[in-house]
Amino acid sequence: MTQDEYKLWTGEDASRYTEEEWAKVVAVAELRLASFLCLEKLPTDEDGNLYDDIAQLLANFIASVIAHEGTSPTVESKHVRNFTINFKSGIAANAFAQIAQQYGDIIERYSNCNLGFKVESNAHYHCGRCNA
């Protein structure tokens, strides 16, 4: 995904990144998004280009991750009887949860996670066979 394609799908400018930096941002985002979709890699056409809908999803996932860049994950606490559980919300998981609300149809189309995802604002759960 080029910076121009990113701007097409998000309306945001990514020129603050060099081409090398942008390539790294996109490569990591592709891996993370594929992981959230329980895929080895994002689907492409016969020429190796991302389909437009998955490119839109990727661009908005990147935008969401960038928006949270530099922020500390929040610590959540849950109390159950005599136990207290503390955990940190991951930025990428929160970014995915944010775009899942808007792009659920695309996620459902490409997700290889059986029944899909259960995404909450404070946690992200994969299906049981995603890591198999």
pLDDT band at 40 (very low <50, low <70, confident <90, very high): very high
pLDDT band at 99 (very low <50, low <70, confident <90, very high): confident
- DSSP annotation of 71 reads P
Report d(CA 102, CA 88) in Å as an integer: 24
Q: Would residue 11 be called left, alpha or beta, if left means φ above 0 and alpha means ψ between -120 and 50 degrees?
A: left
91-102 vs 19-36: helix axis angle to the nearest 10? 70
Report d(CA 130, CA 50) in Å as an integer: 22
pLDDT of residue 114: 62
pLDDT tens figures, 49-96: 999 999 999 999 999 888 876 555 454 555 555 555 544 445 667 778
Across residues 106-123, what is the average pLDDT?
66
Spatial CB neighbours of 98, under 8 Å, sequence gap ≥ 6: 64
pLDDT band at 101 (very low <50, low <70, confident <90, very high): confident
Q: Is the pLDDT of residue 31 over 70?
A: yes
Question: Quick one: tokens of 98?
Answer: 């944010």
Maximum average pLDDT range among 38-47, 72-81, 109-118:
38-47
pLDDT of residue 100: 86
State phi, psi for 80 to the nearest 5 degrees: -130, 115
Average pLDDT, the chain: 78
Domains of the chain by residue range: 3-125
**What b/e readout covers 39-54, taking b as 16+ CB neighbours within 10 angstroms?**
beebeeeeeeebeeeb
In the block, residue with structure tokens 């609300």? 101
